[in-house]
């Protein structure tokens, strides 16, 4: 708290009229992506059972993680050339189309295709929102905006699985996907005025084609990780191309910011993936009690597939 | 960011010790919550620092880099944790201790890199016009 702020210009606030609608819209978009990421673990056992596609179960989780990389790189490149407005709209449309494809899927193959679209759209959406934060909000408000993004993951982690289970039980699992389309449209409408304001101007260089190719290589390597862990080396090679120079070597400044984000995610998700499993195995707690440890510790980030041998797969998917 | 990473390190270290020493499970859960608090504190700061170091020409690239580091960092760690877990089983040691030692090591590296971000990293790329 500073006492030196001039009285004539009130300190900007996140929910002041100038920002409220955009703030709420962005929060809703983040919460929606989070809800879909978490809810899908709840309904996937039912879906796989009904569509007779247990063999594609792991892929249904890994596919959006992989396609997300392509979405992120594309949105970043597009946004540097033309501003974030068009890529944000495109990503929201892709995400919504993915939801519809999943919600109407006649087979598990189609459902996985829908998940690929969801990943593309969701990854691109995240990047578009970050850029929008930089353009729309003054620096003093940015910590609060990003904190609200983090909070947008907590609510779905508390209520998402229960809500998804209820929807699946009451009107069927398809509405866990289809119901979210209306929410996506509503949240998109809230962000629209801010998108119109930022327009389509940016100063970036055209992105070399090779970067998109590396995104595809990275995506393929991520898919291979589960069956073939040495593919991690290819992922690292791709990361070298997709991150600012020196990020893997923790060069001072921005490269270290990016590296820190990656390491935090790596450390926490390694810990998270095994928490329920270790509480069950080493202390003999039931999955329900152990799951309490997870509830409420909602952390933003795409949940990677929990399918590697010995990971907490199953224990986090109710029933 | 530094505080967040430090909390993450404390939380994962607490988990590793709780698993190793087999203390009351409430302590393991508490350590996990500390790690989660570190994420809550540190994550938003990485976004702020990334934007502060960005210009109109590279904000998209940097935003995508932050998201990619986030999602692929998690994916790589899960894969590595699976390998460590399997190795632990084969070697006859507690595989969970191995996994949590890995989490501690990654958090320790995060503390090191967080110290190199340069105070909100505004000094990092002042190349903007």
Of A26-40, A149-163, A232-246, B9-23, give the lowest mean pLDDT range: A149-163
Between A286 and A234, whose confidence is greater? A234
pLDDT digits 0-9 by tens, A52-65: 988 898 899 899 99
Residue of A nearest to B121 (CA): A253
Q: How confident is the model at residue A296 (pLDDT cuts 50, 70, 90)?
A: low
| pLDDT value of position A305 | 40
**In this complex, which of A252, A267, A310 lies closest to B8 when CB atoms are compared?**
A267
Closest CA of chain B from A164, distance in Å: 24
What residues of chain B, 5 to 64, have a C-beta less than 8 Å from chain A?
A: 5, 8, 11-12, 15, 19, 22, 25, 28-29, 32-33, 35-36, 38-40, 42-64
* Beta carbons within 8 Å of A299's beta carbon, 6+ residues apart: A150, A153, A268, A272, B36, B39, B40, B43
Count of CB atoms within 10 A of residue A293's CB? 22
Mean pLDDT of A174-192: 93
User: Alpha-carbon distance A200 to A86, whole Å?
Assistant: 7
The answer to whether B77 faces chain A, any CB pair under 8 Å, is yes
Which residues in chain B touch residue A230, judged by CB atoms under 8 angstroms apart? Answer: none
pLDDT of residue A54: 87
| Length of chain B, in residues | 129
Q: Copy the structure tokens of residue B35.
A: 């790690």
Question: Which three-class secondary structure string do you get for chain A?
Answer: CCCCCCCCCCCCCCCCCCCHHHHHHHHHHHHHHHHHHHHHHHHHHHHHHHCCCHHHHHHHHHHHHHHHHHHHHHHHHHHHHHCCHHHHHHHHHHHHHHHHHHHCCCCHHHHHHHHHHHHHHHHHHHHHHHHHHHHHCCCCCHHHHHHHHHHHHHHHHHHHHHHHHHHHHHCCCHHHHHHHHHHHHHHHHHHHHHHHHHCCCCCCCCCCHHHHHHHHHHHHHHHHHCCCHHHHHHHHHHHHHHCCCCHHHCCCCHHHHHHHHHHHHHHHHHHHHHHHHHHHHHHCCCHHHHHHHHCCCCCCCCCCCCCCCCCCCCCCCCC
Residue B66 has pLDDT above 90, yes or no: yes
- Euclidean distance between CA atoms A235 and A142, whole angstroms: 31
With a cut of 70, say whether residue B128 has pLDDT above it: no
Taking the C-alpha atoms of residue A89 and residue A95, their distance in angstroms, rounded to an integer, is 10
Residue A315: pLDDT band with limits 50, 70, 90? very low
Cβ atoms of residues A118 and A134 within 8 Å: no
Asked if pLDDT for residue A48 goes beyond 80, the answer is yes
Mean pLDDT on A64-76: 96
Whether A307 shows a pLDDT value over 60: the answer reads no
How far apart (Å, rounded) are the C-alpha atoms in residues A187 and A57?
30
pLDDT band with cut points at 50, 70 and 90 for residue B119:
low
- Residue B8 is inside which H or E element, if any? helix B2-21
Per-residue tokens: B12: 């994962």
DSSP, residue by residue, B75-88? HHHHHHHHHHHHHH
Contact between A122 and A95 under an 8 Å Cβ cutoff? The reply is yes
Half-sphere exposure of A127 (CA within 13 A, CB side): 38
Q: Which of A15-29, A61-75, A200-214, A295-309 has the lowest mean pLDDT?
A: A295-309
Q: What is the pLDDT of residue A276?
A: 83
Task: Report residue A97 as tokens.
Answer: 């189309």
**Residue with tokens 């090191």, as numbered in its chain:** B112
What whole-number distance in Å separates Cα of residue A78 and Cα of residue B80? 33
What would the mean pLDDT of B49-76 be, rounded to a whole number?
95
Could you report how far apart the first and last alpha carbons of chain B are, in Å?
Answer: 27
Among chain A residues, CA nearest to B4:
A264
Mean pLDDT score of chain A: 86
Q: How far is A44 from chain B (nearest CA, A)?
A: 20
Q: Measure the CA–CA gap between B83 and B80, rounded to whole angstroms.
A: 5
Q: How far is B97 from chain A (nearest CA, A)?
A: 10
CB contact under 8 A, A69 and B71: yes
Mutation target for A interface from B48, B68, B102, B110: give the one with most A CBs within 10 A: B68
- Write the ipTM: 0.92
CA distance B90 to chain A (A): 13
For residue A231 the two structure tokens come to: 């593919």
Structure tokens at A249: 């070597």
Residue to substitute from B22, B58, B72, interface A, most A β-carbons within 10 A: B72
Q: Which of B32, B47, B65 sits opposite A244 (nearest CB)?
A: B65
Interface test with chain B among A231, A263, A292, A315, by most B beta carbons within 10 Å: A263
pLDDT at position A293 is: 63
C-alpha B81/C-alpha A308 separation (Å) is 9
Sign of CA dihedral B93, B18, A265, A285: positive
């Amino acid at each position: 708290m500073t006492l030196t702020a001039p009285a004539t210009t009130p300190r900007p606030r996140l929910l002041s009229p100038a920002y409220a609608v955009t703030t709420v819209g962005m929060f809703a978009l983040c919460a929606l992506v989070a809800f879909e990421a978490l809810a899908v673990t709840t309904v996937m056992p039912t879906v796989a059972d009904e569509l007779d596609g247990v063999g594609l179960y792991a892929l249904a989780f890994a596919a959006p993680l992989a396609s997300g990389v392509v979405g992120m790189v594309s949105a970043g490149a597009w946004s540097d050339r033309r501003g974030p407005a068009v890529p944000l709209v495109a990503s929201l449309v892709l995400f919504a189309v993915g939801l519809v494809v999943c919600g109407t899927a006649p087979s598990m193959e189609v459902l996985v295709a829908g998940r690929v679209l969801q990943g593309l759209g969701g990854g691109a959406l995240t990047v578009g929102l970050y850029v929008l934060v930089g353009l729309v909000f003054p620096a003093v408000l940015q910590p609060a905006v990003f904190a609200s993004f983090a909070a947008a993951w907590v609510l779905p982690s508390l209520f998402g699985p229960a809500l998804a289970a209820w929807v699946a039980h009451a009107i069927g699992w398809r509405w866990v996907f289809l119901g979210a389309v209306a929410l996506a449209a509503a949240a998109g409408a809230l962000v629209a005025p801010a998108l119109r304001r930022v327009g389509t101007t940016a100063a970036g260089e055209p992105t070399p084609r090779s970067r998109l190719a590396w995104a595809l290589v990275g995506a393929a390597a991520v898919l291979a990780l589960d069956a073939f862990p040495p593919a991690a080396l290819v992922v690292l090679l791709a990361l070298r191309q997709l991150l600012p120079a020196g990020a893997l070597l923790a060069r001072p400044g921005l490269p270290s910011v990016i590296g820190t984000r990656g390491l935090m995610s790596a450390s926490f998700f390694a810990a998270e993936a095994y928490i329920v499993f270790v509480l069950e195995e080493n202390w003999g707690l039931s999955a329900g009690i152990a799951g309490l440890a997870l509830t409420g510790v909602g952390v933003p980030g795409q949940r990677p597939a929990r399918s590697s041998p010995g990971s907490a797969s199953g224990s986090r998917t109710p029933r | 960011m530094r505080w967040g990473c430090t909390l993450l390190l404390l939380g994962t270290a607490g988990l590793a010790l709780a698993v190793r020493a087999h203390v009351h499970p409430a302590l393991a859960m508490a350590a996990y919550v500390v790690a989660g608090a570190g994420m809550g504190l540190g994550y938003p700061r990485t976004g702020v620092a990334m934007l502060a170091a960005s210009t109109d020409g590279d904000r998209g690239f940097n935003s995508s880099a932050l998201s990619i580091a986030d999602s692929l960092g998690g994916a790589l760690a899960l894969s590595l944790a699976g390998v460590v877990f399997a190795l632990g089983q084969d070697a006859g040691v507690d595989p969970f201790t191995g996994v949590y030692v890995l989490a501690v090591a990654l958090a320790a590296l995060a503390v090191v890199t967080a110290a190199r971000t340069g105070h909100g990293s505004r000094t990092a790329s002042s190349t903007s016009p």
